[in-house]
Homo-oligomer: A and B are copies of this chain.
Amino acid sequence: MAVETFEIELKTKGTNHVIDITPQVKSCIERSKIKNGIACVILPGSTGAITTIEYEPGVVSDLIKAIERIAPQDIPYEHDKAWGDGNGFSHVRSALLGTSFTVPFVSKSLILGTWQQIVFIECDNRPRKRSLIVQVVGE
């Protein structure tokens, strides 16, 4: 058994940029010496989110519309009144969607569906450089 730590670096375009990070997570597993286990992918940050979707433009657009309904950009946020950085909606979206995703792998293969991808959702209101951490635990 072992624990190995990897980093995924991303450049995002700001609000609602959804990035397929499955290739990067696969690469972590491949570079690891661990054959079977789990990978915990986390955003160290409070204005983005990680989940899975079928990464095709229609679903990505539909998901963004749902997120806009749940935490709209054009309503007042207390965070903005206090801090003035205009990203109150970003914080709410991140908390609702979640910043951590754990996925098993077997014989170096991620356990995902054929049409299922792991995605990072930029919730912040400006382009960001992101460093996700992938903690791989197994044997």
* A interface residues, Cβ below 8 angstroms from B: 1-3, 5, 36-38, 40, 42-46, 51-54, 56-59, 61-63, 66-67, 69-71, 77-83, 88, 91-92, 94-104, 106, 111-113, 115-116, 119, 133, 135, 137-139
Are the C-beta atoms of A99 and B133 separated by less than 8 Å?
no
Are the C-beta atoms of B137 and A37 separated by less than 8 Å?
yes
Query: Nearest Cβ in chain B — how far from A80, in angstroms?
Result: 8
Question: For A92, what are the chain B residues with a Cβ–Cβ distance below 8 Å?
Answer: 59, 62-63, 66
25 contacts between A and B (CB under 8 A): A1-B1, A1-B2, A3-B36, A3-B139, A36-B135, A37-B135, A38-B135, A42-B103, A46-B54, A46-B113, A51-B95, A51-B99, A56-B79, A56-B82, A58-B78, A58-B79, A58-B82, A59-B79, A59-B88, A59-B91, A59-B95, A61-B78, A62-B88, A96-B97, A99-B116
Instruction: Give how many copies assemble into the complex.
Output: 3
Query: Nearest Cβ in chain B — how far from A15, in angstroms?
Result: 16
Cα separation A44 to B54 with both chains bound (whole Å): 11
Are the C-beta atoms of B116 and A46 separated by less than 8 Å?
yes
Q: A77's closest neighbor in chain B, by CB?
A: B62
User: Within the complex, which residue of B95, B97, B111, B139 is in contact with A44, where a contact is CB–CB below 8 Å?
Assistant: B111
Q: A3-B37, A58-B88, A62-B88 are in contact. List 8 more A-B contacts (CB 8 A).
A: A2-B139, A38-B135, A51-B96, A54-B79, A59-B91, A62-B79, A63-B96, A100-B101
